[in-house]
Amino acid sequence: MKITGARVIVCCPGRNFVTLKLETDEGLTGLGDASLNGRELAVAAYLTEHLVPLLVGRDAHRIEDTWQYLYKGAYWRRGPVTMSAIAAVDTALWDLKAKAAGMPLYQLLGGASRERVLVYAHANGRDIAETVDEVHRQAALGYRAIRAQSGVPGLAKVYGVAADREHSYEPATPGLPKEEDWDTAQYLRHTPKLFEALRNAIGWEHELLHDVHHRLTPIEAARLGKDLEPFRLFWMEDATPAENPEAFRLIRQHTTTPLAVGEVFNTVWDCKPLIEQQLIDFIRTTVVHAGGITHLRRIADLAALYQVRTGSHGATDLSPVCMGAALHFDLWVPNFGIQEHMPHNEATDEVFPHAYRFDGGFMHPGEAPGHGVEIDERLAAKYPYQRAYLPVNRLQRDGTLWDW
C-alpha cells in the first residue's frame, strides 16, 4: 500500500484543528491529528513543507520505519512542533493499517484489555457553590470521575473556569493573549475548602481530580497535597512546572496525594526520570503531542515497570481524531489509569464524524476499521482558521509574569 497523497487540513469549528490526511493507491485514507493549541500553523507548515514530500511514495505499512525516519532523520529531535507532526503521520498510518486489516485499531495493538474506558469530566464554577452544582450535574450525566475547579475569591479569572455557566471552558481566544491574575496564598486557602465541600455534598463514591495547572512551587504544591489528603483525590495534576523533574521529589516527600503530569511532554525522555524515580503516579501524555501511538506505547511500557498508569490528556483542543486514537490506545494499554473527556461542540462533532461513544461514565472507541474518526472536508472548509492564543498569567501583587 503506497502513499499517493498527503494533505493538511486546517479548520476552526469553534477552535482550531490541524488534520493530516494520507491517501493511498488502494483507495484507503488515514487521518492524524496535529493540533497544537495557539501554535497550529507551525505544525501545519512543518507537515506541508517538510514531511509531506517525504511521505508520498512510501509504503504505508512501514509505520515503525517511517517513525524512525522522521524522528532520527530530522536531526533536530523532540519538541512539541516536531513531535505533533510525527504524531499526525503515525496516527494516520495506524489508521490505514487497521483499515487495510479490516479491524478496529485496538485489535492491532493487541486487543482489548478491558470492556470500556473510564473517563473523567470537568466541573467548573465561579465559586464553591457553583462547582458543587456542576459536580452534581456531571454525576447525573453518569460520570464516575470528575475534575473540579473553582474561582478563587479575590482573583478575577483562574484556570479552568468559564466566564458564564452557559459555556464550557475554552482557554484559547481570538485576538491577543488574555491576561489572568494569580495569588498563591488565596488559592492555597481556598482549594481545600472546595474539596471539603465536595466530599460533604457528593460523598465518597466518585473519584475527584484537580488540575493545579503549573501554578505552584514545589513546596507550595507539597502543602496543597497534604491539605487535600483527607479528601482522597484520584490525582493532583501539574502541581508545578516539570522542566525540572527533581521538583517532584520534593512534593513526593511530603504527600500521599497521587501526582499526575505530562500533558505538555512530547517524548519518553521527558517522562523517564519522573517514572524511573517513582515521582509520579499517572503519566498524561497523549497521542497528538507525544509522537503518536508508536511512541505513546514506549512511554506506557516504561511506566508499567514502575506501576505508573496512563491518564491521557483529552481537552477540546485535541481533535476528535486524537480522541478516537487515544480511546483505542486506552482500551488496549495494560496499565491504563483514566482518560480525560471534555465533549467537543456540535460543529466539531459534525466536521469529525466518529465511531466512539460515551455511556455511563465510560467510553468505547467503537468497532469501525481504523481509529473510527473521519473528516467532512466540505464542512471543514466552512470554518476557516482563526488565530487564537492561550492566556498568560501575572501575579496580582506586582504584575510579574507567572506560569499559566
Q: Which residues in 360-399 contact ligand EZ4 (CB under 6 A)?
A: 390
Give me the catalytic one of 190, 206, 213, 214.
213
Query: Strand 388-389 and strand 173-174: pairing?
Result: antiparallel
**171 is an interface residue for ligand EZ4 by CB under 6 A:** yes
Q: How far is CA 208 from CA 228, 247, 384, in A?
A: 11, 24, 37
Least distance between Co ion and beta carbon 100 (Å): 35
Helix 128-140 to helix 184-202 angle, to the nearest 10 degrees? 40
When asked if residue 211 is in the footprint of ligand EZ4 (CB under 6 A), the reply is yes
Rounded CA separation 63/65 (Å): 6
- In this chain, which stretch among 17-25, 77-85, 312-320, 366-374 interacts with ligand EZ4, using CB under 6 A? 312-320
Using CB under 6 A, which of the segments 49-57, 69-77, 127-135, 313-321 binds ligand EZ4?
313-321
Residue placing its CB nearer to Co ion in the complex, 286 or 319: 286
Residue 112 near residue 328 (C-beta atoms within 8 A): no
Q: Active-site residue 213, yes or no?
A: yes
Catalytic residue at 354? no
Instruction: Give the C-alpha separation, 9 to 342, whole Å.
Output: 23
- Distance of alpha carbon 271 from alpha carbon 273, whole angstroms: 6
Of 82, 120, 325, the residue nearest 208 (C-alpha): 120
Sole window of 27-35, 300-308, 310-318, 362-370 interacting with ligand EZ4 (rule: CB under 6 A): 310-318
User: Would you count residue 211 as binding Co ion (CB under 5 A)?
Assistant: yes
Does 207 sit near ligand EZ4 (CB under 6 A)?
no
Of the candidates 34, 43, 30, which has an alpha carbon nearest to the alpha carbon of residue 4? 30
Min dist CB 213 to ligand EZ4, Å, is 6
CB 373 within 8 A of CB 352: yes
Q: Active-site residue numbers?
A: 159, 213
- Site of interaction with Co ion (CB under 5 A): 211, 263
- Site of interaction with ligand EZ4 (CB under 6 A): 37, 171, 211, 213, 263, 313, 315, 317, 340, 390
